[in-house]
A and B are shown apart, each in its own frame.
Chain A
Amino acid sequence: MTPTNKSNEIVHDALLQATELATQWTFDVKQNAFGWLRLNNTESLRPAAKALAENGARLCTMTAYVEERGENSNKKAIAYHFALANTVVTVTVPLYTAGCDTPVAVPSITSWFRNADWNEREFHEMFGIDIVDHPNPKRLFLDERLDAGIMSSLIPFSAMVHGAATRNLWEQVMAAKGVDITGSDGSYGLENPHGAPTDISTPPIEEPTFTPVSATAPENGN
């Protein structure tokens, strides 16, 4: 979709000229516009940031994230969220190249947006993202003796508390009861009835009988 007002058009054209990429526009139910630009490489960030700064954009915040879920994935990216007069433009910069997940360095935009200073230092400190030409590349929190990218080496909190992470724990719980579930795929009968005939066109419904398959007394482990 195309931008709907003059100021968005100006930014759209400026970004197109700077990066040779067209910004995508989405609209919510109240027709508020949101611009989305995904750069092909980190070098395109400088002209994009310059174009945005010259057109009065403010940097709201920056988000560093891993684009692909999975324990071994290292496809990092940074989303820069800019505010214009009446809209938000998000510029995403992937930090990986085809066939190589190792994060590449990203240029600093602090010279155009002073508040980028904090985020860029934080990204370097916590996630090991290298920032090129940062005017003040000092650590924010961590002691210099600690490695950069320390956050990436820890288990994400979301993964730690998610139910899927308790598989190993469940093996211990069921082992305490004497049940081995290490090879189990978690199959469950009611979703796939065992031996259920498919022909049910003439069921004997007048005098149904009630037959337990094999009654097992419910057991409460409390």
Chain B
Amino acid sequence: MFRFLKLLGKNLAQGPSTDPFPAKEAHTPERFRGRVVVNPEQCVGCRICHHMCAGGAIRIEDNEEKTGYNFTVWHNTCALCGMCRHYCPTKAITLSTDWHNAHTQEDKYDWAAHYSIPYLACAGCGAHIRMLPPQLAARLYAHSPVDMTDLLKLCPSCRQLAAARREEISNDTHEQE
């Protein structure tokens, strides 16, 4: 009996062990895989997320004007596996800690995130491109002595030519010195 009263007293002093959800927000681990969030600035449209998505939850398609593309994530069929985040080369996709996905049946088709991502014109040839994200460029040109910042606005073909030309000029300058 004494043991029971001791345990009771201890539990009363400690308070409840469970979160008082929904009166108060429940604790969510930092690494919880919640709703998918896309950073349109970082997306280059490589489509690897679409390829990897087991649930077919990602749709990427040109807009009507062909000036950009629409990136849609339908949360309703997303399995929160995180493969899109894992394979995204620019880290444009993250999984938030938001797990509040309860919704009514009539809202199921609205339960999607729509992003409109514009194309940019290549400064060299005018082709429609997405700008190379700086962190990806930093990895590509990690060992180059030449400043490559403005090459981000070129398409891959123009960028390759421009980078080669700059490397050549840089090497010539070093040799002359």
Query: Contact residues of A with B, CB < 8 Å?
Result: 161-166, 169-170, 172-177, 179, 181, 184, 186-191, 193-197, 199-200, 203-205, 208-222
Smallest CB gap from B123: residue in A = A208
10 new A-B contacts, CB < 8 A, other than A188-B60, A189-B69, A218-B116, are A173-B76, A174-B72, A190-B129, A193-B127, A193-B128, A197-B125, A199-B125, A203-B161, A219-B116, A221-B112
A218 and B41 contact, CB distance less than 8 A: yes
Which of B25-33, B50-58, B137-145 contacts the other chain? B50-58
Interface size on B, residues (CB 8 A): 56
B45 and A190 contact, CB distance less than 8 A: yes
B125 and A170 contact, CB distance less than 8 A: no
Knowing A194-B128, A210-B120, A214-B67, the reply to whether A188 touches B115 (Cβ < 8 A) is no
The contact of A212 among B61, B121, B154, by CB within 8 Å, is: B121
A162 and B68 contact, CB distance less than 8 A: no
Q: Which residues from chain B contact A188 at a C-beta distance below 8 Å? A: 45, 47, 60-62, 69
B80 CB–A CB distance under 8 Å: no
Knowing A163-B54, A200-B158, A216-B68, the reply to whether A205 touches B112 (Cβ < 8 A) is no
Q: Which residues from chain A contact B63 at a C-beta distance below 8 Å? A: 216
Q: Per DSSP, are chain B's interface residues mostly helix, strand or loop, or mixed?
A: mixed
B53 and A163 contact, CB distance less than 8 A: yes
Q: Which residues from chain A contact B116 at a C-beta distance below 8 Å? A: 216-219
Nearest first, the 6 closest Cβ-Cβ pairs linking A and B are A163-B56, A208-B123, A203-B124, A196-B127, A218-B40, A205-B162
Query: Contact residues of B with A, CB < 8 Å?
Result: 35, 37, 40-41, 45-47, 53-56, 59-63, 65-70, 72, 74, 76-77, 109-110, 112-130, 150, 153-155, 157-158, 161-162, 165
A189 and B66 contact, CB distance less than 8 A: yes
A208 and B153 contact, CB distance less than 8 A: yes
Q: Which residues from chain A contact B62 at a C-beta distance below 8 Å? A: 187-189
Knowing A184-B61, A190-B69, the reply to whether A220 touches B109 (Cβ < 8 A) is no
B67 and A219 contact, CB distance less than 8 A: no
Q: Which residues from chain B contact A199 at a C-beta distance below 8 Å? A: 125
Knowing A170-B74, A176-B109, A189-B66, the reply to whether A218 touches B115 (Cβ < 8 A) is yes
Q: Which residues from chain A contact B150 at a C-beta distance below 8 Å? A: 208
Q: Which residues from chain A contact B128 at a C-beta distance below 8 Å? A: 189-190, 193-196, 213
Q: Which residues from chain A contact B47 at a C-beta distance below 8 Å? A: 188, 190-191
Question: Can you list 16 A-B contacts with CB-CB less than 8 angstroms, sorted by A residue number?
Answer: A165-B56, A170-B56, A170-B59, A176-B110, A181-B61, A188-B45, A188-B61, A190-B45, A190-B47, A196-B126, A203-B125, A204-B124, A205-B161, A205-B165, A219-B115, A221-B112
